[in-house]
Chains A and B, each alone.
Chain A
Amino acid sequence: RKEVEQDPGPFNVPEGATVAFNCTYSNSASQSFFWYRQDCRKEPKLLMSVYSSGNEDGRFTAQLNRASQYISLLIRDSKLSDSATYLCVVNIGSGGSNYKLTFGKGTLLTVNP
Chain B
Amino acid sequence: DVKVTQSSRYLVKRTGEKVFLECVQDMDHENMFWYRQDPGLGLRLIYFSYDVKMKEKGDIPEGYSVSREKKERFSLILESASTNQTSMYLCASSLPVRVAGDQDTQYFGPGTRLTVL
A42 touches B110 (CB 8 A): yes
**Interface of A, helix, strand, loop or mixed by DSSP:** loop
When chains A and B are docked, how far (Å) is the Cα of A98 from the Cα of B100? 12
A43 touches B110 (CB 8 A): yes
Q: Given the complex of chains A and B, what is the CA–CA distance between A31 and B103 in angstroms?
A: 11
Complex alpha-carbon distance, A113 and B106, angstroms = 32
Q: Please, how many angstroms separate the alpha-carbon atoms of A44 and B108 in the complex?
A: 6
**Interface segment, A11-19, A59-67, A75-83, A88-96?**
A88-96
Closest residue of chain B to A102, judged by CB? Answer: B45
The B interface is mostly helix, strand or loop, or mixed, namely loop
Chain A interface size, under 10 / 10 to 19 / 20 to 34 / 35 or more? 20 to 34
Shortest Cβ distance from residue A66 to the other chain B in the assembled complex, whole angstroms? 14
Q: A87-B43, A95-B97 are in contact. Are A101 and B104 (CB under 8 A)?
A: yes
Given contacts A99-B50, A100-B48, contact A31 B100 (CB under 8 A): yes
Other 7 A-B pairs with CB < 8 A, given A32-B104, A97-B50 = A43-B90, A43-B111, A44-B90, A91-B97, A97-B56, A99-B50, A101-B106
